[in-house]
Amino acid sequence: MYSQTRTSLHLYGYIIGITILLCVVITLAGCEPTSKFRRTLSLTDTIATGNTFETLTHNGEITITGGQTNECLVSATITTYAMTDEEAAKLSDMVDVKLKKTNKGLSLNINKPDNSWKDYVSVDLDIVLPKDNHLSLTTHNGDIQIVNINGEVKCVTHNGDIKTEMIQGSINARTHNGRIEGINVTSDLHFHSHNGALIAELSPDANPRCDISMNSHNGQIRLFTPIDLSAMVTIDTHHGLIHTDVPLKLLGKIEHDHITGKLGNAEGTITCETHNGSITLETREFD
């Protein structure tokens, strides 16, 4: 009798615990912010030629355009979310965006409230700066787009696409979930995505001895090159096909998922690898 009573009490306690847990989950699910507040800041500072511009935003897109200027012009759009309009506006006032001189050049710093609401803040950046500078950009959730930069470019996003166009310096781009695309690439290129396609189109003025690496775990890879490229080529796909029309001097055994060969005098390197996806290597004839 005592054993049955104790079992019943344990069962009753278990049911009560599950009920409380479900109530907590339902309550938390209803706590998503419903109000939004948005404001835009304009910032300006100078940056010397050949210096580095760097920034990090956790949630938000980054757009960079290079131009004929000696100033860095920033438009920062701050968006905050809260339960009421008043709380969303108050949260926005707690976000601070500043340009700061560094020994490398110029840094854009974003300070957010150090509490549970910091994840309900996003800062989108639209920036125009001198094209003869280097870039170091990071965002956790958001796309990155860069146009017309002559210096080196390093950019990272965890969830988002990356697109570059008319970059004269080397490009190092990395995303965990997203597509990476490079148009009019002229120098070394390093693309990495865990889940996403990688596409690169080399400029007709590209260095014929540049080093290129493109690596994706899940996604196709497409590389378009000038006909005079000189590189040692290695292509691997574990689950996919390889398509190529380049004048490649094949080395070793030819397999459907692996190719090694030489373009020209093999002065540079091309390495393309994906675990799940096809790889295309094609030449482009330019007018």
Does one domain contain both 25 and 43? no
- In 106-211, alpha helices (H): none
Does one domain contain both 181 and 239? yes
| Beta strand residue intervals within 60-206, DSSP E | 62-67, 71-82, 96-101, 105-111, 121-130, 134-141, 144-149, 153-159, 162-167, 171-177, 180-185, 189-195, 198-202
What local confidence, expressed as pLDDT, does residue 285 receive?
65
User: Whole-prediction pTM value?
Assistant: 0.85
What local confidence, expressed as pLDDT, does residue 119 receive?
65
User: One digit per residue, pLDDT tens: the chain, 287 residues?
Assistant: 444 444 443 444 444 444 444 444 433 445 677 899 999 999 999 999 999 999 988 899 999 999 999 999 999 999 999 999 999 999 999 999 999 999 999 999 999 887 655 568 999 999 999 999 999 999 999 999 999 999 999 999 999 999 999 999 999 999 999 999 999 999 999 999 999 999 999 998 888 889 999 999 999 999 999 888 889 999 999 888 898 888 788 877 777 788 898 988 889 999 999 999 999 999 876 55
Element (H, E) at 29: helix 2-29
What local confidence, expressed as pLDDT, does residue 283 receive?
85
Considering only CA atoms, which of 158, 199, 198 is closest in space to residue 62?
Answer: 158
Q: Which two tokens stand for residue 232?
A: 């040692």
Considering only CA atoms, which of 43, 22, 23 is closest in space to residue 126?
Answer: 43
Considering only CA atoms, which of 278, 249, 53, 250 is closest in space to residue 169?
Answer: 53
User: Which residues are CB-neighbours of 122 under 8 A, at least 6 positions away?
Assistant: 57, 59, 60, 78, 79, 141, 142
What local confidence, expressed as pLDDT, does residue 223 receive?
95
- The range of the structural domain enclosing residue 166 comes to 161-287
User: Which residues are CB-neighbours of 30 under 8 A, at least 6 positions away?
Assistant: none
Does one domain contain both 187 and 267? yes
Q: Does a structural domain hold residue 152?
A: no
Q: Does a structural domain hold residue 281?
A: yes
What local confidence, expressed as pLDDT, does residue 58 receive?
85
Q: Does a structural domain hold residue 150?
A: no
Q: For the purposes of burial, counting CB atoms within 10 Å of the CB of 61, is it exposed (0-12), middle (13-18) or buried (19 or more)?
A: buried
Q: Does a structural domain hold residue 199?
A: yes
Q: How far apart are CA 284 and CA 188, in angstroms?
A: 18
Q: Considering its fold, how many domains does the chain have in total?
A: 3
What local confidence, expressed as pLDDT, does residue 256 receive?
75
User: Which residues are CB-neighbours of 226 under 8 A, at least 6 positions away?
Assistant: 202, 203, 204, 206, 208, 283, 284, 286
Does one domain contain both 13 and 65? no
Q: Does a structural domain hold residue 153?
A: no
